[in-house]
Amino acid sequence: MALAILSLWSVAQQTFPQNGVYDERDKCYAFTNATIYVSWNQKLEKATLVIRNGKVEGAGVGLVIPKDAVVLDMKGKYIYPSFIDLYSAYGMPEMRNDGQRQGRNFFNSPPQMLTSKEGAYMWNEALKPEFRAYEVFKPADAGAKNYRSSGFGAVLSHNMDGISRGTSTLVTLGDEPPHSVIVKEQVAHHLSFSKGSSRQNYPSSLMGSIALLRQTYYDGRWYATQKGEVNISLAAWNAVQSLPQIFEVGNKLDALRAAAIGKEFGVTYLFKGDGDEYQRIAELKATGSTFILPLDFPDAFDVEDPFDAQMVNLAQMKHWELAPYNAARLAEAGIPFALTSHGLKKGDDFMTNLRKAVESGLARDAALKALTATPASLAGVSDKLGSLEKGKIANFIIANNDIFEKDAKIYHNWINGKPYVLKDLDTPELAGNYELMIGQTTYQLAAKGDGDKVEMNIVVNDSTNVKVKHQVSNNLITLSFTPKGDKNAIRLSGSMMERNWMGKGQNGDGQWVDWKATYTGPVEAKEEKKGKDDKKAIEKSEPGPLVYPFVAYGWEKKPQQATYLIRNATVWTNEKEGILRGADVLIQNGKIAQVGQGLKAAGAIEVDGTGKHLTPGILDEHSHIAISRGVNEGTQASSAEVRVGDVVNSEDINIYRMLSGGVTTSQLLHGSANPIGGQSALIKMRWGYAPEAMKFEGADGFIKFALGENVKQSGASEAFATRFPQTRMGVEQVYEDYFTRAKEYGALKRSGKPYRKDLDLEAGLEILEKKRFITCHSYVQSEINMLMKVAERFGFRINTFTHILEGYKVADVMAKHGAGASSFSDWWAYKYEVYEAIPYNGALMRDQGVIVAFNSDDAEMARRLNQEAGKAVLFGGVPEEEALKFVTLNPAKLLHVDNRIGSIKVGKDADVVLWSDHPLSVYAKADQTFVDGIKFFDRKDDEQLRASVLAERTRLVQKMIAAKQKGGPTQSARGASQSKEYHCEDVEDEVGR
Amino acid sequence: MKITSILIAAGLMVQTAALIAQAGPVPAKPQSQGIYIAGATAHLGNGQVIENSVIAFDKGKITFVGAAGQTPRVNLSAYTRVDAAGKHVYPGLIAPNAQLGLVEIEAVRATRDGSEIGELNPNIRSLVAYNTDSHVIPTVRSQGILLAQVVPGGGRISGQSSVVQLDAWNWEDAAYQTDDGVHLDWPEQFRFNRFSGELIKNEGYAASIQELEMFFKEAQAYIQKAAPETRNLKFEAARGLFDGSKRLFIHTNSAKSIQQSVLFAQPYGFKIVIVGGRESWLVADFLKANNVAVILESTQSLPATEDADVDQPFKTPALLQKAGVLYCIGHEGFWQQRNLAFQAGQAVGFGLGKEEAISALTLNTAKILGIDARTGSLEVGKDANLFVSEGDVLDMRSSVVTQAYIQGRGIDLDNKQKALYRRFKQRYEK
């Protein structure tokens, strides 16, 4: 039965005129004797499906078949509701280069500060809530074909471009005019963190994208209450809020970040995930969100070369192994999800990967649900799609077997009651062994392959075959071959009856002969070679454990709080007791419980501190570790609205490296590209915890300011140096203006009149109200002085000057103002404004009564800040005890957390480091590092972790090699770059990701 | 016997302050008076230590090295005594692979002379751009670094380095070993892709190697000619590589590149040194078997990959030491060179012996740069390049350099930063 596809298809009345004679048909089909999945959880055997005019009329066992139905016998066939993909750009205008900005090379073009889009739209091009996919939707044959071959019957299509992407439309995948395939015009509002094709600079960082979204929510609220401004985008933004909100995220942490925004504005997003959700499942479950999960599992890496293999991180290897388990793990955790084919390279990968997910523990019914009922319900079209109940659109697939079986093939995909034939239902099964009789001669014919796609050979002996050419057409078969030793070919033509063929032919001499071929059985797969079983066992082996965070040195089991008694150590208390020799410290419930000699504590884990030094954990006041995708939102003079706390990256290996260097707390700062940077985050090195749980509870909020060469864009070429300010004179006016506006904003807010919540000025107001504190990147004395005077005029104080390399020139002024200093020990000469930097800076400022800290601004230096403190002794003769405070108690004071950390005092957090040697010495190693009384680093345990990293890598390398040898796809070894090492001058663009 | 005990407090000589702030310390005159340093723990640079030592030098050369009790072969009564009881004396530290004197302020283009454009520049010579008046140099030598290999960057073949001594009026005085070698920046096997954020295979790798191969093959052919009709400056510059008078410094880090580059250069008979050598420990046997030395990158760096041991860079020197590879310890940049000794100190916590660490800053470096006949250790006959420290120079807790001598000349340890320190101390004096 080969159904011809009709060139015109119409249902009911239509508006289009007909050029010719109308050919309206009351199409009714009955599919009998099939195994029918009416829905994901309702399977009927020997059942009948009746459709009429593109709708399901009924599905059931023993249905009365309408007289006017075309009856199709589906014996042995399986019928499913066709799949729905919620994440598609089908029929959308061609995206240029998959979401990346075109028209200008971002890195080589001058900045564009405002939108270039004409009309009363939003100021930022990355926001296009007014876009409606259904208005531009154009059915595209090639795209539809790909989807149909994977079993899809409908997709939710949107333009994958920008942060607010407008609305999506649900369409079926028929080759019809848009009028008949659009099922629902506007289904969902789509969002992402990627600005896509927007040429504007802002936002240039992930935290900027987050701030822009938050501000837009506030702007929407404001817009609804005001009358002065007409804004098409904001009106549309408000209109789309009632729809489901689908948020594309780049990874599991982005989902948490977006969920936080959702929480703030009362939105529960539907996430299009990245396939790594299994790595932070508990936190994602807590968001209450539903996920759209991709099935684009990574290919194995080429790891045969051991050196090249070094490039591939354990995290990449583990993800290769665990990605197929993602859906199963989410199902197990009770997180609802749909599945998408988005991201897959080839059409047929989808079924392969779907089966892989099922092999990896996803229940078949759950998989089916995630492709039918769940997406239908999420798109609000459960009444039309997702099952084969009466009245629904006749979207279904016909397969030769249970679709989760390896040999299952989709034969037909019916959409709107119209068949799309992928493979003829009557495709003959040719594979097998045949006895071929031609005249009096018998040959053994072997046909290997699948369906009508086979290779035929005459088997002469074990190692010799003669190829047979064949052709099949409507139950007729043609064969031709040249027997071994003959010159001329034998040509045969005949008919096929089931698996037996017979007919007439001409031999090499032109004589007519009778022939027949008799099926004798299947072609046996060749015996697998020895050793393959081992490989197979490796390939099928259970996956490795999850680790937190999902990188090398992550924990299988998170370390726990315990009671520790550190005995007989040299204890640097940073309190009036000074340095205690031969002292004991008891750690209990995460706090320092006792300090003294001869302490006793039942059940405590004793740690021998003989010959060792115990100090408070190191606090790095200026760090850029553990930050995702951009440390600067330096596109405007003020980006006070951005928050590093939104983009803490718990998976950064540098957190573990910090612990190995005795660092227990770091302030993660915005960069120094603009005068008013962003809000910082204070984190403890709780390796393995999720980003939120790493944050220092209850700490005061800080914000980064910056002065000098960076903010006046000294490093940029003329074409790029266009942002105000370009001089230190202008820098002052940025502050003067900012605080003037913040003051007025505060007055408006207090007045009770309606106002637009402005996240930029909110931060300024917090500063004025002494609820947020400034740490300011600074170098030369003039600007340092200037900023203090600005602050004094507005009635507040600069909390901390960071870098502050010329602080020694105005130390007395700083002390009088009340500013602290967080400096480098010895950096200089890297730019003009540090040509008078001196390593005696810390000592001189301290002499004048300034609270001095030394910081890193550098992931490498951060893990030896104790040595940097040692340089304060070398240069300037700071007493050793005071020098250690430069990296412990003093930064704690600067960050207002000295009540919690910074000294070894009963009641303070048990954030301590046990050093192998004098802590200011180059020879000192952090042997054990505790945070909240939890031992997060132990040099001995580190040896164990190294061994397990090696063992896990080795196991995965073997598994990848096994997969490759089996013919699986591979990709060349490549390094996912390490979490980027940021310094404050790095301007990272959030390019299309 | 003339005895002068010189007590110097951390090199802060107040009287010269005003001058220094303007123009930097004055280079010292040639040694006219013999000097001996008595009572210090002498670290000879070759692994040996002499407690309570006597180190004597005259006319720029070391004349005696021994213990206090030994009878010196020279008449010390004519020498000036420097009492260094309780202190330590070391051979001058040598900074290999440094940009010192080529850059004054990194972000100011006008002060950057470290990197020329073009791909194949063996004819470029760092020496002529070496700025003896750089304010950075005195801050470096006041930490005991007395010699530096000044290395040009940029391009595939960056040019030729020279070894300079750090107390000179101009580059001619400064030259210690002129044009000691040619620097080759070996192509990367993996490259950072800015858009994907990944390190991916460098597709141009083979083409880069081919280009190099053509260059060296053609250079080899060129120098066979007695009198080339057209003089090719680039090939001329490579001449020293073929006759063994210059070394080929190959800057590369990965294990594969190290092997490939050595195998590439060996057939030409070059003297090869690997610079960087991050993964040299992985191919230590190969390096030893091929007699290739390594100038290591900064010990204080981050591991190259996420999965690497957190302290891998700290351990690398000890691993090379154990394997018997000739190596020395370097440090990045120019002003950063003052922290050179701590790069070696860092490795001590991770398995390297203290005297081995000293050798990796002195004699090993001298050997690798081909100047060990003249310097690198405290041995009779060598140049009197040495300094006195109040304590262990490897540790910031104690590396207070009190005297330093280059070719026997007692150099001024003052610098711009000390001058600024004094200046602003005065501001706060009540």
Distance CA A44, CA A59 (A): 9
Six-digit token pair at B151? Answer: 């290395």
Q: What is the mean pLDDT of residues A585-605?
A: 97
Task: Give the gap in angstroms from C-alpha A521 to the nearest C-alpha of chain B.
Answer: 49
- B112 neighbourhood in chain A, CB within 8 Å: none
Residues of A (780-839) whose Cβ lies below 8 Å from B: 808-809, 811-812, 826, 828-832, 835-839
Q: Does A613 touch chain B (CB under 8 A)?
A: no
Contacts with B, A 875-934, CB within 8 Å: 876, 880, 916-918, 920-925
Cβ-based neighbours of B227, under 8 Å, separated by 6 or more:
none
Distance CA A183, CA A427 (A): 33
How large is the average pLDDT for residues A646-655?
Answer: 97
Residue A846 carries which DSSP code? Answer: H
The mean pLDDT value for A51-72 works out to 95
Strand partners, A205: none
B105 contacts A656? CB cut-off 8 A: no
State yes or no: pLDDT of A12 exceeds 60.
no
* Alpha-carbon distance B21 to nearest alpha carbon in chain A (angstroms): 11
The answer to whether A948 contacts chain B (CB < 8 Å) is no
Measured between alpha carbons, how far is B72 from B64 in angstroms, rounded to an integer? 7
For an interface test with A, give the residue of B310, B332, B399, B427 to mutate (most A CBs within 10 A): B310
Give whole-number Cα distances, B237 to A279, A616, B182, B228, B326, in Å: 57, 57, 8, 14, 27
CB contact (8 A) between residue A870 and residue B310: no
Which of B200, B305, B397 is closest, CB to CB, to A310? B305
Reduced to 3 states (helix: H, G, I; strand: E, B; else coil), residue A398 is: strand
Chain A residues whose beta carbon lies within 8 Å of the beta carbon of residue B347: none
Tens of pLDDT, residue by residue over A39-56, are 999 999 999 999 999 999
* Closest CB from A838, A871, A981 relative to B302: A981
In A35-94, the residues whose Cβ lies within 8 Å of chain B are: none
**Angstrom distance (rounded) from CA A959 to CA A535:** 8
The stretches of A588-713 forming alpha helices (DSSP H) are: 653-660, 691-694
Q: Per-residue b/e over A511-530, b at no fewer than 16 CB within 10 Å?
A: eebebebebeeebeeeeeee
Q: Which residue of B has its CA nearest to A717?
A: B109
Chain A residues in contact with B306 by the CB 8 A cut-off are 313-315, 551-552, 653, 978-979
Q: Looking at residue B218, what is its pLDDT? A: 97
Average pLDDT estimate for A510-519? 91
Q: What is the mean pLDDT of residues A31-43?
A: 97
The rounded Cα A228 to chain-centroid distance in angstroms is 40
**Average of pLDDT values for A456-460?**
87
Helix then strand count (H, E) for chain A reads: 26, 46
What are the helix (H) ranges across A339-496? 349-359, 364-371, 373-378
In this prediction, residue B8 carries a pLDDT of 40
Q: At A283, which helix (H) or strand (E)?
A: helix A281-286
Q: How far is A280 from chain B (nearest CA, A)?
A: 20
CA nearest B255: which of B333, B300, B312, B215?
B312
What pLDDT is attached to residue A532? 59
List, as ranges, residues 152-181 from B with C-beta within 8 Å of A. none
Band the pLDDT of A99: cuts 50, 70, 90: very low
Contact flag B309-A946 (C-beta cutoff 8 Å): yes
* CB burial of residue A192 (10 Å; 0-12, 13-18, 19+): buried
Please check the confidence at residue A3 and state whether its pLDDT lies above 50: no
Single-letter amino acid code for the residue at A885: K
Tokens, residue A888: 């412990």
Tell me, yes or no, if B311 comes closer than 8 A to chain A by beta carbon: yes
Rounded to an integer, what distance in angstroms lies between the CA atom of residue A930 and that of residue A940?
14
Contact across the interface for A840 and B255, Cβ inside 8 Å: no
State percent of chain A over pLDDT 70.
94
Confidence label for A107 from pLDDT (cuts 50, 70 and 90): low
Among B396, B423, B426, B430, the strongest candidate for a mutation testing the A interface, having the largest count of A CBs within 10 A, is B396
Q: Which residue, among A661, A588, A666, A663, has the nearest Cα to A623 in the 3D structure?
A: A666
- Confidence band of A483 (pLDDT split at 50, 70, 90): confident
Residue for token pair 């028929």: A174
Chain B contact probe: residue of A875, A922, A945, A952 with most B CBs at under 10 A:
A922
Strands (E), A573-726: 579-588, 591-596, 605-608, 613-616, 618-623, 663-668, 676-679, 681-684, 701-706
**Contact state of A923 with B420 under an 8 Å Cβ cutoff:** no
ipTM rounded to 2 decimals: 0.95
pLDDT (0 to 100) of residue A804: 97
**What secondary structure does DSSP assign to B158-203, as a single string?**
EEEEEEEESS-SSHHHHEEEEEEEEEEEPPPSEEEETTTTEEEE-T
The pLDDT assigned to A531 comes to 55
- The whole-angstrom distance between B425's CA and the closest CA on chain A is 7
Q: Are A560 and A537 in contact (CB under 8 A)?
A: no
Task: Give pLDDT tens digits for A690-746.
Answer: 999 999 999 999 999 999 999 999 988 888 899 999 999 999 999 999 999 999 999
Selecting from A864, A917, A976 the residue whose C-beta is nearest the C-beta of B198 gives A976
Please indicate whether, in this complex, the C-beta atoms of A311 and B310 are within 8 angstroms of each other: no
Q: Between residues A764 and A986, which one has the greater pLDDT? A: A764
Query: Which residue in the set A812, A924, A925 is minimally distant from B428, CB to CB?
Result: A812
DSSP letters along B277-346, please? -TTGGGGHHHHHHTT-EEEE--SSS--SSTTS-TTHHHHHHHHHHHHT--EEE--SSSGGGGGHHHHHHH
Residue numbers in A near B396 (CB within 8 A): 867, 870-871, 873-874, 920-922
Contacts of B310 in chain A (CB under 8 A): 553, 656-657, 660, 942
Q: Compute the nearest-CA separation of B111 from chain A (Å).
A: 10
Structure token digits, residue B344: 């070696």
Contact A972 B397 (CB under 8 A): no
Contact of A207 with A763, CB cutoff 8 Å: no
The secondary element (H helix, E strand) that includes residue A572 is: strand A564-572
Q: What is the mean pLDDT of chain A?
A: 92
pLDDT of the residue at A789: 98
pLDDT of residue B12: 40
Rounded to whole angstroms, how far apart are CA atoms A578 and A587?
Answer: 19
Q: Which two tokens stand for residue A344?
A: 């897959």
- A302 pLDDT tier (thresholds 50, 70, 90): very high
Q: Do A980 and B197 make contact, defined as CB atoms within 8 angstroms?
A: yes
Interchain proximity A953–B399, CB inside 8 Å:
no
**Domain ranges, ordered by start, for chain B:** 1-92+377-430, 93-375
Task: Tell me the Cα Rg of chain A.
Answer: 35
Q: What is the CATH number of domain B93-375?
A: 3.20.20.140
Question: Rounded to 10 degrees, what is the CA torsion of A373, A375, A379, A380?
Answer: 10
Q: Is A908 in contact with A921 (CB distance < 8 Å)?
A: no
Confidence tier at A298 by pLDDT (50, 70, 90):
very high
- Read off the pLDDT of residues A517-547 as tens digits, 9 standing for 90 and up: 999 988 876 544 555 566 677 777 899 999 9
Which of A660, A874, A976 lies nearest to residue B310, judging by beta carbons? A660
The answer to whether B264 contacts chain A (CB < 8 Å) is no
Is B342 part of the contact surface with chain A (CB cutoff 8 Å)? yes
DSSP A63: P
- Least CA distance to B346: which residue of chain A? A922
Do A874 and B400 lie within an 8 Å CB cutoff?
Answer: yes
- A175 to chain B, any CB pair closer than 8 A? The answer is no
The end-to-end CA distance of chain B, in Å, is: 45
pLDDT at B90: 98
- Measure the CA–CA gap between B235 and A480, rounded to whole angstroms: 68
Share of chain A above pLDDT 90, in %: 82
Domains of chain A and CATH, by start: 432-521 (2.40.128), 696-901 (3.20.20.140)
Do B149 and B166 contact (CB within 8 A), yes or no? no
With a cut of 50, say whether residue A6 has pLDDT above it: no
Chain A CB contacts of B200 below 8 Å: 972, 974-975
pLDDT value, residue A500: 86
Q: A874 and B397: CB-CB below 8 Å?
A: yes
Residues 6+ away with beta carbon under 8 Å from A900: A696, A892, A908, A909
Q: Which residues of chain B have pLDDT under 50?
A: 1-21
Residue A935: which of A690, A691, A685 has the closest Cα?
A685
How distant is the Cα of A677 from the closest Cα of chain B, in angstroms? 22
Evaluated on CA atoms A745, A746, A752, A758, the torsion sign reads positive
Q: Do B399 and A835 touch (CB under 8 A)?
A: no
Separation CA A492–CA A235 (nearest Å): 73
Superfamily of domain B1-92+377-430: Urease, subunit C, domain 1 (2.30.40.10)
- From residue B69, alpha-carbon distances to A112, A713, B66 in Å are 78, 64, 8
Q: Rg of the Cα trace of chain B?
A: 22
DSSP string, B335-361: GGGGGHHHHHHHHHTTT--HHHHHHTT
- Give pLDDT tens digits for A112-148: 899 989 999 999 999 999 999 999 999 988 899 999 9
Select the residue of A811, A831, A922 nearest B107 (Cβ to Cβ): A831
DSSP secondary structure letter of residue A324: G
Residues 6+ apart with CB under 8 A from B256: A305, A307, A308, B189
Closest approach of chain A CAs to the CA of B139, in angstroms? 10
Chain A nearest CA to B9, separation (Å): 12
B397 touches chain A (CB under 8 A): yes
Closest chain A residue by Cα to residue B335: A829
B428·A864 Cβ contact <8 A = no
Q: Where are the alpha helices (DSSP H) in A302-419?
A: 306-309, 314-322, 326-332, 349-359, 364-371, 373-378
* Whether residue A991 has pLDDT greater than 50: no
pLDDT for the residue A406: 86
Instruction: Give yes or no for a contact between B349 and A923, defined as CB atoms under 8 angstroms apart.
Output: yes
Digit-coded pLDDT (tens) for A355-397: 999 999 999 999 999 999 999 999 999 999 999 999 999 999 9
